[in-house]
Amino acid sequence: MDIRQFLDSTYLKTPAQAGLTKAENATVVQGFVQEAIDEAFKLIMIRPDMVKMAKEMITAQRSKVTIGTVIDFPKGNGTLEAKLKEAEKAIADGADDLDFVIDYEAFQRGETDLVKKQVLEATKLGLSHHKIVKWIVEVAALNDHQIVQLSALIKNVVVSNFKEDQYSSVFVKSSTGFYPTEEGKPNGATVASVMLMLENSCPLSVKAAGGVRTYEEALKMITLGVKRIGTSSAKAIVSGEAAKNDY
């Protein structure tokens, strides 16, 4: 098994979050893109404003690394129109995967029709351009029952509106990695949350994001059944080194 093909190497910090200037942060992103090319990771996951630069680097080096970006990140509470506009720009810039943050707060308020419409229309946009679409549910903001319900909601929208051969292009993803938690509680994927997602999103695939920092942790997630792992520690995972990053 080539674990590299499960890894979405991730860098999603803004310059302010990283304590860097815009130019310095862009240099960090370039480093992550180059590392993904050198290590032959499945994908490099970056902010939308960095997609065009990454596409140029990958094309110039004739690499097979794909490019993912986040949409309506990290809160997911933008309008459907805003989600679609951001996704259209990312597609034009060269993104292969679109990781939408679902409006989990609207879901928690009981606005399920709004959430279903967003899932339907944004998924339709992505699939019509032959992109991979992932829905970030933000497990740290949800209780177990809500994880079950939201995973099933996404699954039901996809199964009811798209063809079976398209199911493999839609994922349910655990986390943004930016949700603030208290008392050291995890804000990313856990075994318990991932198992709930796997049980209730099938036949869609699951991406475990956040909190996977070692080869052993990655292998455990793959053994459970996840198809992708989002991590800023991709090189540490494949080399068996200690992770230096916090996602």
Q: Which residues are catalytic?
A: 99, 173, 207
Is the preceding peptide bond at 203 cis, omega within 30 degrees of 0?
A: yes
Orientation of helix 215-224 relative to helix 191-201, angle to 10°: 30
Contacting residues for 216 by C-beta, under 8 A, at least 6 apart: none
109, HSE (Cβ side, Cα atoms, 13 Å): 9
Return the DSSP state at 165: G
155, HSE (Cβ side, Cα atoms, 13 Å): 17
- In 40-173, where does DSSP find H-type helix? 51-60, 80-93, 104-108, 112-128, 144-161
Handedness of CA 76, 80, 81, 87 (dihedral sign): positive
